[in-house]
A and B are shown apart, each in its own frame.
Chain A
Amino acid sequence: MKNKRFTSVLLILLAIVLTLTFPFVGMQRGEAKNIVKGDTVANIKLVQQRLKNLGYYTYTVDGIWGSRTTKAVKKFQSDYGLTADGIVGAKTEKALGITLGGTSGGNVSSNDLNLLARAVYGEARGEPYTGQVAIAAVILNRVKSSKFPNTISGVIYQSGAFTAVSDGQINLSPNQSAFNAARDALNGWDPTNGCLYYYNPATATSKWIWSLKVELKIGRHNFARG
């Protein structure tokens, strides 16, 4: 009898806990409406990444909308003179400097940009930002040169051309800095003024690459025209 009563109390308690928890679980999965355009995981990630870059959000970019993300949005909004409601509307989107994708999730993203960003990240993460732009510029200079394949993928995957391809680091997810460096290079930025080669003097083993005249050093890389 005593046992039975104990079980029913336990069941009731469990029901109360579940009823109270479920809405929050739902909230965490981004089911709450109109917090971010379309409430898509991609858009939530974009907002979280941008807030992280700006120093407002210090947690994992997971595409899940929770109290930490809301708090970060509110702090950003109040710093930028916007209504601190925690909702990313058009004004907050504009102030963040991002463009959120539509509800159809049809973001058009360029293959070349992604691949270039992956190559930059695999080859030069941890390098100064200009050094990352320079790596992307060297790849694009090769595309333009008759001595190399005529596509970005052709240049990047050419046999033995990049260590990031040989050791698989090309498959890592690039960070914002690598994307921005790739975009800058595609926009025409070339800190190397047309160099076709670079190498890390601490690790380069190829004989001929040492015979090239070094024009510029950025971070750990030497750049040469060839």
Chain B
Amino acid sequence: MKQKSQSFIFAIGGGLLILAAILIAGFVIAANKNAETNQRLNGAYQRAMYEVKDNLNNIEINLSKLIAAGDGKLGVEIAGDVARQSQSASDNLKNLPMDYHSVESANKFLNQVGDFCVSYSRALVNGKNTDVYEEKLQSLYDAAHDLNERFTEISDSVGEGKNIIAELNRIRLDSASGLGEETLINNPVEYPELIYDGPFSDTRGKKNFKLLDELPEVDFSAAKQKLKEYLGDMRLTGLKQEGRSEEPEAFFITGYADGKKFFASVSEKGGKLISFNIDTSVTGGVRITEQKARDYAREYAARADFRDLEEVWYNASEGIAVVNLAPIRNGIVYYTDLVKVKLSLEDGALIGIEAAGYCTNHCDRNLSPTISENTALLRLPNNFSLIAIRPALIPLNNAELLTYELACEHNGMYYFIYVDAVSGETVNIMRVINDNRGQLVL
């Protein structure tokens, strides 16, 4: 009996030992795997950090050369290289494990340096006055130098074996994060303000809404009344203010339109409709024709006080049509002043209106192309067949540009090519992508 219980204890003990061995082996394998993954991740972070460091070195050196290059051909080459290096630095920066907010100013600086250099080299190539660029080169160099120093500090610490994540988050790259005084290890980098001809220029502190600027202010109750007028036969109930937009200054209004929840934005100046959206993404099947949908869209826009607009783009998918409308004056399409109308193809009911583009840009203009249609057509690539050509005002960077729009086809693919109506240069190319959820223009 005693022998039997002894062997039972041995069996249990043996079993437990085997189980413990399996658990330990499992733990060791998992820990190894974990260490390997961490090592790889660390390697990727270090690669990104050293690449940012290289890019910053090159940017700093090239900016100093650019100061000396003057307005010759070499300047164009160097500026091009700075643009490439800043793009690469920005790409690598986003791969580093740093809080996205703490790198905002550094990212802005890198984007601006690249963008600035593209504009500078364009000005050099076109023989324009480059004084405004050359004046800024020294301050750009100073900021690049400071940023480079911060990264040298980080890479030196990491080189000494310190933890890369801790080091990256210890050293400040900018002054914009509002993280509190305790994190101020060193002085933040001071980035210069840059005003030039490019999309990331600090041209405007606040966005300018041309249509709204001159209009008188309305209060919330007047804005509600306007909204009711704009939406005509829809029964609006439970209207309340859900917030206030600062750019443009506008009331965010929610409520129910014919019993369906909606969100709208109505400007404080003039009480114009900026956007309206019924809270639905699903409608029924298709019962109305495309032509009917287009007619409804124009009607809805006119009722919302966006008149004399023509349809410039139509897209239908999942029983919803989106119709883009724009003013066409003297044959020129104003793509800058778009009003987008979304409606149900089941019954033609309005689902949404978006008019931020119209409110930002619409004003009286007196434009006409300098070059002829035939000159613009010289830009039509070989083997492309032209479908239509017309003058069009398009948004480009922070400005508007009068162009010729060449709708064309090549190998079953559809394109819109935009040719500057003054210089005759191609300034933008868009391709129409068809997929099973509708059309996209990229």
Contact = CB atoms under 8 A, between A and B. Distances in A.
Given A130-B279, A208-B179, A193 B286 contact: no
Contact of B90 (A150, A180, A184, A223): A150
B179 A97 contact: no
A215 interface: yes
B103 to A, nearest CB: 8
Contacts of B100: 148, 158-161
Interface residues of B, number: 70
A218 B263 contact: yes
A208 B180 CA distance: 9
A97 B221 CA distance: 39
B436 A159 contact: no
Contacts of A215: 243-246, 252
A149 B91 contact: yes
Interface string B89-122: 0110011111111001101100110010000000
Nearest to A161: B100
Given A95-B287, A158-B100, A215-B252, A207 B265 contact: no
Interface in A28-64: 42, 46, 50, 53-54
B101 A191 contact: no
Given A107-B436, A160-B99, A149 B319 contact: no
B232 interface: no
Interface stretch (B21-29, B70-78, B349-357): B349-357
A134 B213 CA distance: 26
Contacts of A209: 101
B179 A207 contact: yes
A216 interface: yes
B178 interface: yes
A100 B436 contact: yes
A189 B90 contact: no
A198 interface: no
Given A108-B434, A113-B440, A216-B245, A95 B91 contact: no
Given A215-B244, A216-B242, A159 B177 contact: no
A133 interface: yes
Given A109-B435, A129-B281, A216-B252, A97 B318 contact: yes
A45 to B, nearest CB: 10
Contacts of B275: 189-191, 193
A65 B341 CA distance: 36
Contact of B318 (A98, A113, A213): A98
A50 B318 contact: yes
Interface in A113-152: 113, 128-130, 132-133, 145-150
A159 B99 contact: yes
A42 B354 CA distance: 33
A93 to B, nearest CB: 10
A203 interface: no
Contacts of A113: 435, 437, 440
A199 to B, nearest CB: 11
A225 B244 CA distance: 11
B14 interface: no
Nearest to A43: B436
Contact of B285 (A54, A108, A206, A213): A54
A94 B286 contact: yes
Given A113-B440, A159-B96, A215-B252, A97 B207 contact: no
B247 A146 contact: no
A46 B99 CA distance: 40
A101 B436 contact: yes
Nearest to B101: A208
Contact of A147 (B91, B108, B286): B108
A146 B111 contact: yes
A68 to B, nearest CB: 19
A123 B202 CA distance: 31
* Ranked 6 nearest A-B pairs via Cβ: A97-B319, A216-B243, A146-B200, A180-B281, A147-B104, A193-B245
14 contacts: A53-B318, A76-B285, A99-B434, A146-B111, A149-B90, A154-B94, A176-B282, A176-B318, A188-B357, A189-B352, A190-B275, A193-B265, A193-B356, A218-B263
Given A110-B433, A159-B95, A183-B437, 4 more contacts: A46-B436, A99-B317, A108-B434, A180-B281
Interface of B: 90-91, 94-101, 104-105, 107-108, 111-112, 115, 177-180, 200, 207, 242-248, 250, 252, 261-263, 265, 274-275, 277, 279-282, 284-287, 315-320, 322, 338, 340, 342, 345, 352, 354, 356-357, 433-438, 440, 442
